[in-house]
Structures are given as C-alpha cells and as structure tokens.
Amino acid sequence: MLNLLKNRLIILAACALVVISGIFAVGMQENGSRRAVAEARETTTEKYIKWVDFSVPYHALSDAMELDISTHGSERHLSWIDTLSFLACKNGGDFGGYKHSQLDGLVEALGEGMTVDDLMKTNKYYAFYKEAYGAVLSGFLGEYTKAAPDGNGGIKIVEGYGLKAYSPIAEGFSFSHYDDFGVSRSYGYKRRHLGNDLMGSIGTPIVAIEGGTVEALGWNRYGGWRIAIRSFDGRRSYYYAHLRRNRPYKEGLEIGSTVKAGEVIGYLGMTGYSEEENINGMKVPHLHLGMQLVFNEVQKEGDNQIWIDMYPIVELLKRNKATVVKNTKSGEYQRVYDVFDDSYPDEMKHITTLPPSEITEQ
C-alpha cells in the first residue's frame, strides 16, 4: 500500500513537472515572439517625429527672438529655437504659465562658455522640442542681405541679422484675424480648421513667407484657387488658399517655380467650397494660411499630417512686411526690395535693384 502511494506521488510530480515545463516553454516562445516583433519594428520603421503641438504664444516668440538678436555675434548667443525648447521643457509643453522672468533665469543659469544644450543635456524632452521647433522656425531668423530705400528715391544694399521671413499680407494692405486653429468645419465632411484665416479685401497682394518651391497650384473644392510652397530645407509646406477668382496667381507661376521670401505669389479672394471651378463659395474674403510640417514624405498626404497654429507666427511676422507696387501695364503687383539668402539655389542668389518708378513702368 505504501509503495503504491509512493508510485502515485512520483507520477503526479512528473506530470506537474511536464505541465510547468510546457508553460515555461510557451512563455519563452511568446516572449521571444514579442522581442522579434519589437526588433522588426525597430529595424523596419524609420524614426521621425509624428506629432507636434506648437502652442508657443506670441509674447514668448517675441521675447525669444529679441534675446536671439540681442546676443547675436557674442560669445553668449542664445538661439531662439534653443531658448523656446528650454521653455517648453520647463513648462511641460504648455506655455500658459510663461513669464519673461523665465528667460532671465535661463541667462543666469548659463555659466561661462555654457550653452543651452549643455544645460539641458540630461533632459529627455529637450532634443524633441529642439527638432520640432527647429522644423517650424528655422527659416525665420538669420543673416540677410536685402535692398532698402536710400532716402533719395533710390535703393541701397543692407546687411543684418534678424527676422527675414515676411508677413503674408503686403505692406499697406490691412487685414484682421483671430486664433481659429482647430475650429470645426463641416463643408464636405466634419473636420478641424488647420490654418489661420486672414480677413482682407479682394485683390490684396499675398507674398511668400519664405523662399521655396511651388509644389501644388490650382483648384480644389475646399481651398478654391490655392498654392502650396515647400521651404528649401523641405520641412515646411505653406498653404495659401481661397485666392482671387479669374486671376489668382502671379503671372507665370507654376508647379516647380521657385520664389523668394517676400515675393508676390497671388491675390486674396474668396474662392472654394464648390465642386465647380472658379466659384466664390466663401462668404467673406480672406486668405487661409496653413503650415504643414514634414519630417518624412509619408506625412505629406493622408491622415497623419502635422499642421501648425499660425496665429502667433502671423502676429510676429507683422514686423516684416514686403513693400509692393502695381505695374501699370500688367496690373500685377511686384515687390520692390529684393533679398539675397545664402540658402537659396545658386540661380536665385542675386538682388534686383529697380526703384519703384521703374517697376511701375515695366
């Protein structure tokens, strides 16, 4: 009887060992599969930023830009992109509590020869903000060479450092706007408004915020006559929509054309919201202005696009407006004071210095 009991215990123990071994083996296989999937994702999926919430208000942009300009050329130059990335980390990405004193604290925290990168090297979010904000703002501030009035009716060439991106509305033309990014839209289908509407008069000259290449031009049911211009570094695609009926664009503009910052590209209108081409489907004349970020070309079309709230940027760009004159023969507007930018393609590295009187008589 005792031997029989021993044998049963041995059998039960052996069975338990088999079951435990089986469970362990299955677990090992499952863990191995998860690791294999993770490794496959790591090796087959390119890493790039897939979302940016650019919530930097005007006063933070302005403060950071002025600090950048005031320190340019010194050993303590503070890039506004680095500064804004620092502020984003300190405020958890939310600038609602931003105060100018935070910039004073940054300056005090930087030791001799220390950069913001040095100060933030242990912060795991700083590199993300620096890349994201760099994608938004890298074409806006820097060294420039441009034509300017000489005070005697002629033109002179000036060099400097500062804001080199332009307001989308030319000098001398008024507009109004408010922060309408994300507001619901229902034409066609329910969606968020992914831009900033600038209300103005039909025919107001629209200028390129920065230099780039025209990548889309023509009609669609939502934007009416519209232009998309990709910055030369490829990170920003500017969308100008609801342009004027019949003559929406600068003469000769086409897909593949290159433009300079401040160059007239089209005219404000109210087209769109129509299946039929060249229809004023909008109720109020305005420019729809958008900026799309592109970290990978797969983001350009589809459901995972990254659009930026342009309201605070437009407020900042009011400081730099392009002077334009109307050509009496063609009826088109042209910019007066040309620019040179070392980042432009070689064929664009020149400055035209025609005074306004000659432009109007061309």
Instruction: Output phi, psi for 352, to 5 deg.
Output: -90, 130
**196 has pLDDT over 50:** yes
Higher pLDDT, 303 or 320: 320
**Per-residue model confidence as pLDDT tens digits over 119-141:** 999 999 999 999 999 999 999 99
Query: Where residue 274 falls among pLDDT bands split at 50, 70, 90?
Result: very high
**112 has pLDDT over 90:** no
Round to the nearest angstrom and report the end-to-end CA distance of the chain.
Answer: 119
- What span, in angstroms and rounded, lies between the C-alpha atoms of 73 and 324? 32
Q: Return the pLDDT at 113.
A: 82
Domain assignments of the chain as residue spans, ordered by start:
58-137, 165-360
Q: Return the pLDDT at 362.
A: 55
Q: Return the pLDDT at 46.
A: 76
3-state secondary structure of 238: strand
If you average pLDDT over residues 161-172, what whole number do you get?
97
**41 has pLDDT over 50:** no
Q: Return the pLDDT at 190.
A: 74
If you average pLDDT over residues 54-74, what whole number do you get?
96
**338 has pLDDT over 50:** yes
- Residue 192 pairs with which residues in a beta bridge? 184
Higher pLDDT, 31 or 92: 92
- What span, in angstroms and rounded, lies between the C-alpha atoms of 282 and 296? 33
Q: How high does pLDDT run on average in the chain?
A: 86
Higher pLDDT, 133 or 26: 133
Asked which of 108-112, 236-240, 303-307 is least confident by mean pLDDT, the reply is 108-112
Comparing CA positions, the residue from 240, 264, 268 lying closest to residue 251 is 264
Comparing CA positions, the residue from 313, 266, 247 lying closest to residue 80 is 313
**13 has pLDDT over 60:** no
- Alpha-carbon torsion 53, 59, 63, 65, what sign? positive
Pairing of strands 258-259, 264-267: unpaired
- Residue 149 pairs with which residues in a beta bridge? 155
Q: Return the pLDDT at 37.
A: 27
Burial of 110 (0-12, 13-18, 19+ CB in 10 A): middle
The CA distances from residue 249 to 92, 219, 255, 263, in Å, are 42, 12, 12, 12
In the sheet that holds 155-163, the strands lie side by side as 155-163, 141-149, 339-340
Q: Return the pLDDT at 153.
A: 81
- What span, in angstroms and rounded, lies between the C-alpha atoms of 46 and 34? 19
3-state secondary structure of 55: coil
If you average pLDDT over residues 75-95, what whole number do you get?
94
Tell me if 77 sits within 8 A of 68, measured CB to CB.
Answer: yes
- Alpha-carbon torsion 246, 249, 250, 256, what sign? negative
Q: How far is CA 278 from the centre of its chain?
A: 29
Dihedral class, residue 302 (left if φ above 0, else alpha if ψ from -120 to 50, else beta): left
The CA distances from residue 211 to 29, 135, 178, 233, in Å, are 55, 15, 25, 10
**Per-residue model confidence as pLDDT tens digits over 224-264:** 999 999 999 999 999 999 999 999 999 999 999 999 999 99
Tell me if 289 sits within 8 A of 198, measured CB to CB.
Answer: yes
Tell me if 116 sits within 8 A of 85, measured CB to CB.
Answer: yes
Instruction: Give the helix/strand (H/E) hosting 224.
Output: strand 224-231
**44 has pLDDT over 80:** no
Asked which of 154-158, 252-256, 301-305 is least confident by mean pLDDT, the reply is 301-305
**36 has pLDDT over 70:** no
**Chain position carrying tokens 């930018």:** 341
CATH of domain 165-360: 2.70.70.10
Higher pLDDT, 32 or 239: 239
The CA distances from residue 262 to 41, 45, 140, 169, in Å, are 43, 38, 12, 9
If you average pLDDT over residues 318-329, what whole number do you get?
94
**38 has pLDDT over 60:** no
Higher pLDDT, 18 or 56: 56
